Amino acid sequence: LATSVPPTFDLGLLLINNPNPLDPASTRGPELEPYLAAVARENAQSLLSEIWQRLPAERVEDAVVAPLPPPSTPLPREKPPPKPKPPSRWEEFARLKSIRRNKKEQAVWDEATGEWRPRWGYGRADPSKEWLLEVPASADPNEDQFGRLKKEKKERVAKNELQRLKNISRNMRLGGTLPALSAGGGGATSSSKELKRALVVAKRSDASVGQFSAKVGGEKVGHLQGRRRHFLPNTGSLTAERGIQEQVLKELAARRTDPLNTERAVNRLQQQREQSGDAANAVDGRRRPQKKKTAGKVSTEGGKSRRQNARDSKSRKYKKAAASGRANQKMKSLMKSKTLGKRK
Amino acid sequence: MRPLTEDETKAVFEKLSKFIGDSLTALLNRADQQYCLRLHRCRVYYAPEPTMKRAANVQRKQLLSFGTCLGKFTKSNKFHLQVTALDFLAPYAKHKIWLKPSAEQQFLYGHHVTKAGLGRITDATPQYAGLVVYSMSDTPLGFGVAAKSTLQSRKADPMALVCFHQADIGEYIRSEATLFG
């Protein structure tokens, strides 16, 4: 009686570990393939039954789902481990000369205002914001001291930026990776979409919310990115405003479907008919001499063209309608009013 | 104070064109001075440019009004015309309605106009057109919307509504507090 070891499972990796050896008799000859298939089927069956037995099943939109636990088997590394960052030129120099970082206090005593000021950031004693600068004895009296400070700061910033880029290029040359962008969420700039997002965030992360950030070539910026809305300037040239107004007026004019106002023409015609009908049928008891009318039939004067006949027929239609209206009104007035004379 | 955005301009022009039609261009391109539309605290003001520039120098919270207030935008961004616009829009009105003396008082209290109070109406007025309401002595009284077209109103019974009230000059007394924000 062969005792079989029960299989172990790592459900997080959908792994079944069956350590039982294969039957040596069945692995020879023609029964190899069906035997292996049978073994695989049994193992798969036990894996599935273990999943549905062990894990709690949930129902998600007419599908029964069992969430897998985290994997318990340690797997070997997929990618090689990251190389340590090679030290920059300054770090190398500091190591050689054994220069250590001095931890600096955040607050500095500012003599001018007589109070403690932060060393950096909001409220610092910025030398570029001095209102008075002494001209040193060694300097040219016509030199602009404020301009000199600004220029020097610009040069320092540019030099720092250059050093930083040099370090990055050295890293890349020695087989490193690009430094992570903090705006991209801590190094997760794998896709181009995330990179674009990081660019947008970086551009608007200044005091003017990116209004003056230069546009990088080929960059598409949505006009309403960020919470701030952009309005036209209040005073100044009114051309942009006029442009918008012209545009809107054009759209309104395009929407108008009936420039000739046929409804108005038809109404006018109908009113004329009604008015002329009213004049003929005055309801005041006195009969007015009425012209005899031929009801319905219209005589055709010989030799008219078809088009003329058609036009006549249209006007006839209106006259007929008006005439029938007049006739009705006449009847009504006769019914209503009391005629003093004899009716003809 | 700021100029109107495209959507706001569209809403204002649509409303104004219901009352004055194509004469809207006459309001914008004036011969004497350059007029402009400005939005201040949800109200649209129509003022000449020098006036607007001077008003721009006043603090936002302390600026009450400048030029003429045409109307205001509601919370849901709909544009409502105010009676303060009457002087500018009445001369260009497309459709007019004249009220009998008996109905004038009712209209000035904010009620709608019934057929019994209707004196005259411009012919070929379509239904729901913007109307300028006049008294029989040709004094503009306010704005309204035609509840019935001209033909329909001729055949209507005396108690039927002919014109919906929108704004009237009685509001200068009734809504004194709210008319200027």
Distances (CA, A) of A249 to A255, B22, B85, B88, B93: 10, 9, 20, 19, 18
Q: Which of B35, B69, B86 is the last residue of a domain?
A: B86
Give yes or no: residues B13 and B78 share one domain: yes
Question: Residue A285's pLDDT is what?
Answer: 44
Contact status, residue B168 vs residue B110, Cβ threshold 8 Å: yes
Q: Give residue-wise pLDDT tens across range B44-77.
A: 999 999 999 999 999 999 999 999 999 999 999 9
What whole-number distance in Å separates Cα of residue A251 and Cα of residue A204? 35
Nearest neighbour of B9 by CB, restricted to A234, A244, A267:
A244
Name the phi and psi angles at A195, rounded to 5. -65, -40
Question: Residue A334's pLDDT is what?
Answer: 58
Question: Residue A175's pLDDT is what?
Answer: 76
Percent of chain A with pLDDT over 70: 72
Question: Residue B118's pLDDT is what?
Answer: 93
Residue A338 has pLDDT above 70, yes or no: no
Where is pLDDT greater, at A306 or B179?
A: B179
Q: Which of B43, B68, B86 is the last residue of a domain?
A: B86
Where is pLDDT greater, at A87 or B173?
A: B173
Residue B29: pLDDT band (50, 70, 90) is confident
Percent of chain B with pLDDT over 90: 79
Residue A191 has pLDDT above 60, yes or no: yes
Quote the tokens at residue A20: 């039982």
Specify if B181 maps to a domain: no
Chain B residue numbers with beta carbons less than 8 Å from the beta carbon of A224 are none
> Which CATH number fits the domain that encloses residue B121?
2.30.130.10
Residue A333: pLDDT band (50, 70, 90) is low
Nearest to B69 by CA among B141, B145, B165, B167: B167
What whole-number distance in Å separates Cα of residue B38 and Cα of residue A69? 63
Give yes or no: residues B116 and B41 share one domain: no
Nearest to B121 by CA among B107, B132, B111: B132
Question: Residue A336's pLDDT is what?
Answer: 57
Mean pLDDT computed over every residue of chain A: 78
Q: How many CB pairs under 8 A join A and B?
A: 51
User: How far is C-alpha A186 from the chain's CA centre?
Assistant: 25
Specify if B168 maps to a domain: yes
Q: Give residue-wise pLDDT tens across range A211-270.
A: 788 777 666 655 555 556 778 888 888 889 999 999 999 998 888 776 667 767 777 787
A275 near B CB under 8 A: no
Give yes or no: residues B81 and B99 share one domain: no
Specify if B152 maps to a domain: yes
Contact status, residue B70 vs residue B11, Cβ threshold 8 Å: no
One-letter amino acid for residue A29 of the chain? G
User: Which residues of B make CB contacts under 8 Å with A?
Assistant: 1-6, 9-10, 13-14, 17, 22, 24-25, 28, 34, 36, 38, 49, 52-53, 56, 123-124, 126, 150-151
At residue A249, the 3 state secondary structure works out as helix
Distances (CA, A) of B43 to B25, B71, B72, B79, B180: 21, 6, 4, 9, 9
Residue span of the structural domain in which B19 resides? 2-86
Contact B13 A245 (CB under 8 A): yes
Name the phi and psi angles at B18, rounded to 5. -65, -30
Give yes or no: residues B37 and B75 share one domain: yes
Specify if B180 maps to a domain: no
Contact status, residue B146 vs residue B125, Cβ threshold 8 Å: yes
Q: Interface pTM (ipTM) of the complex?
A: 0.86
- Would you list the domain boundaries of chain A? 8-65
Nearest neighbour of A245 by CB, restricted to B22, B28, B49:
B28
Residue of B nearest to A232 (CA): B3
Contact A238 B25 (CB under 8 A): no
Nearest neighbour of B13 by CB, restricted to A235, A252, A261:
A252
Nearest to B161 by CA among B141, B151, B142, B146: B146
| One-character DSSP codes across A79-147 | SPPPPPPPP-HHHHHHHHHT--PPPPPSEEEETTTTEEEESSSTT---GGG-S-----TTS-TTS-HHH
Give yes or no: residues B68 and B104 share one domain: no
Give yes or no: residues B63 and B15 share one domain: yes
Q: Which of B32, B65, B86 is the last residue of a domain?
A: B86
Question: Residue A205's pLDDT is what?
Answer: 84
Contact A249 B24 (CB under 8 A): yes
Residue A304: pLDDT band (50, 70, 90) is low
Name the phi and psi angles at A316, rounded to 5. -60, -40
**Checking phi first, is residue A62 left (phi over 0); if not, alpha (psi -120 to 50) or beta?**
left
Chain A residue numbers with beta carbons less than 8 Å from the beta carbon of B123 are 264, 267-268, 271
A251 near B CB under 8 A: yes
| One-character DSSP codes across B84-132 | GGHHHHGGG-SEEEEE-HHHHHHHHTTPPEEGGGEEEE-TTPPTT-EEE
pTM summary value: 0.47
Residue A313 has pLDDT above 60, yes or no: no
Count of domains for chain B:
2
Contact status, residue A267 vs residue B151, Cβ threshold 8 Å: yes
Residue A131 has pLDDT above 90, yes or no: no
Q: How far is A236 from chain B (nearest CA, A)?
A: 9
What whole-number distance in Å separates Cα of residue B44 and Cα of residue B69? 6
What whole-number distance in Å separates Cα of residue B70 and Cα of residue B77? 15
Read off the pLDDT of each residue in A203-207 and give the average, rounded to a whole number.
83
What whole-number distance in Å separates Cα of residue B153 and Cα of residue B163? 10
What whole-number distance in Å separates Cα of residue A265 and Cα of residue A263? 5
**Range with the lowest mean pLDDT among A37-41, A184-188, A272-276, B2-6?**
A184-188
Mean pLDDT computed over every residue of chain B: 93
Residue of A nearest to B54 (CA): A235
